[in-house]
Chain A
Amino acid sequence: ELKVEQNPLFLSMQEGKNYTIYCNYSTTSDRLYWYRQDPGKSLESLFVLLSNGAVKQEGRLMASLDTKARLSTLHITAAVHDLSATYFCAVGSYNNNDMRFGAGTRLTVKP
């Protein structure tokens, strides 16, 4: 059974600092996604990673995928308050439609 683990679950950081969120998964997969959720809102897609070594960047966020290690990272560079949200990774497979989510990382960026 596919299991997805994120860490840390809670992250409080100062503006201007860097940090990385980790997403580990338990079985072979060929697609990984990162989503952002603001309080009381729905989820919006941030990154789609479909191959080993894939790296995507958008503003201060960069996501990467290592399928051999079954690990994805979401790196935050020079954090700003607007990045405060909950970030989820999700893992799926071409073989079925079962998309599993991590528990989420609640990020708070303090001035």
Chain B
Amino acid sequence: NAGVTQTPKFQVLKTGQSMTLQCAQDMNHNSMYWYRQDPGMGLRLIYYSASEGTTDKGEVPNGYNVSRLNKREFSLRLESAAPSQTSVYFCASSEVDAGELFFGEGSRLTVL
């Protein structure tokens, strides 16, 4: 049971570089989410997707773009990375809107 798979697990970028975090789930869930986790701030929602082809902004969307490629995959792109985007990123999925979340293992991103 793979569940939610994120890649890469670790990444170091220089300021201004771009990269894409990939996420795939094999549970046939409709909703997918991208969160970032920073010390003392819990998880903050970046973007979510209620279904294939739809995406919505969350609490902290600035500096990010997303693509819901199909039902399984939801990618997060940083077009021009900034040190403030240094964080741990989690992808999650749920069967229904705002349902119980199933998380990937996380991607630790450092922007120098």
Residues of A within 8 A of B (CB): 4, 6, 9, 31, 33, 35, 41-45, 48, 88, 90, 92-94, 96-104
Q: Are B42 and A104 in contact (CB under 8 A)?
A: yes
List, in ascending order, chain B residues with CB within 8 A of A100's CB.
Answer: 45, 59
CB within 8 Å for A45 and B102 given contacts A102-B42, A103-B40: yes
Q: Are A42 and B106 in contact (CB under 8 A)?
A: yes
List, in ascending order, chain B residues with CB within 8 A of A9's CB.
Answer: 40
* Of B18-26, B74-82, B93-101, the one with at least 4 CB within 8 A of chain A: B93-101
Residue of A whose beta carbon sits closest to that of B57 = A98
**What does the 1/0 interface line of B78-90 toward A look like (CB < 8 Å)?**
0000000000001
Q: List 5 A-B contacts (CB under 8 A).
A: A45-B101, A92-B99, A97-B48, A98-B45, A99-B45
How many B residues have CB within 8 A of the partner chain? 25
List, in ascending order, chain A residues with CB within 8 A of B101's CB.
Answer: 33, 35, 43, 45, 90, 99
Docked pose: A100 CA to B41 CA in angstroms: 11
List, in ascending order, chain B residues with CB within 8 A of A94's CB.
Answer: 97-98
B62: min CB distance to chain A, Å: 16
Q: Are A88 and B42 in contact (CB under 8 A)?
A: yes
Residue of A whose beta carbon sits closest to that of B32 = A97
List, in ascending order, chain B residues with CB within 8 A of A101's CB.
Answer: 35, 42-44
Q: Are B50 and A97 in contact (CB under 8 A)?
A: yes
Query: Which residue from A6, A42, A93 sits with its C-beta under 8 Å from B98?
Result: A93
A103: min CB distance to chain B, Å: 4
List, in ascending order, chain A residues with CB within 8 A of B99's CB.
Answer: 31, 92
A38: min CB distance to chain B, Å: 12
B103: min CB distance to chain A, Å: 5
Query: Which residue from B44, B45, B58, B105 sits with its C-beta under 8 Å from A42?
Result: B105
With A41-B105, A45-B101, A101-B42 given, can you name 13 additional A-B contacts, CB distance below 8 Å?
A31-B99, A35-B101, A43-B101, A88-B43, A94-B98, A96-B98, A97-B31, A97-B97, A97-B98, A99-B48, A99-B98, A103-B40, A103-B42
